[in-house]
Amino acid sequence: MSLIHELFGRSPFGPMVEHTKKVHECVEMVKPIMEALAHEDFKEIHRLQDRVSKKEYEADLLKHEIRANLPRRFFLPVDRSELENFLRCQDKIADYVEDFAIILTLRNTTIHPTLIDDLFAYVDQIFQVTGTLLTAAVEMQNLAEVSFGGAEARTVMELLTGLSEEEWKADRMARKISRKIYKLEGELDPITIIFYEKMIIALGSIANEAENAGDKLRNMLIS
């Protein structure tokens, strides 16, 4: 009997959290990839990109198994479509991590020394966003096992509000880095600037989609 099948014996939220954890494993790969880029270890970037692709595939398998086993009706005040929307957002998070990793394999590009600290701070902020999402999903599972009201629900809502604030911080950091990039136009060739922007956009998409996933959890609470 599979883990997903066993979890469905309790509620759909168990499998949902397992999928969230697997997606978060994908996000955890971003920092070591950035570290390899900072050290100009391009061979390591390719190796890590393979690991990301494997984790993204594992997340896909979980997603398909959840959808295959998700009952049309269950005794919880949440529609099937709301869970599917959450899964869709989670799926995109893993896809964007894979996109980021693939981008870095396309060209052996060095990072300008003045950007390194800001980029690592940005990566840490994105991890904060997805980490808050994971915590909210776990709390949502605990909430579903009791009720969808009271102090427990307020705790989840507070986490989701915090998630939005963390994503807002990530957006501000992205704009700051972009401004620094374009101030380097006299030192960098246009292709390198475009490459940096592709990195920023891919990373920002991870945080944006995590916020979208948080919105789906919020919809489950208020529906």
pLDDT of residue 125: 97
Average pLDDT over residues 164-168: 95
pLDDT of residue 86: 92
CATH superfamily of 3-222: Phosphate transport system protein phou homolog 2; domain 2 (1.20.58.220)
pLDDT at residue 183 greater than cutoff 70: yes
pLDDT of residue 153: 77
Q: Three-state secondary structure along 154-181?
A: HHHHHHHHHHHHHHHHHHHHHHHHHHHH
**Whole-angstrom distance, CA of residue 145 vs CA of residue 171:** 35
Question: Element (H or E) spanning 33, and its range?
Answer: helix 30-38
- pLDDT (tens digit, 9 = 90+) per residue, 68-118? 877 655 455 567 788 889 999 999 999 999 999 999 999 999 999 999 999
What pTM value is reported for the model?
0.89
Residue, of 7 and 162, whose pLDDT is higher: 162
Share of the chain above pLDDT 90, in %: 70
**Whole-angstrom distance, CA of residue 212 vs CA of residue 151:** 24
Q: At 74, give phi and psi (nearest 5°).
A: -150, 160
Task: Find tokens 């198994």 and name the residue.
Answer: 65
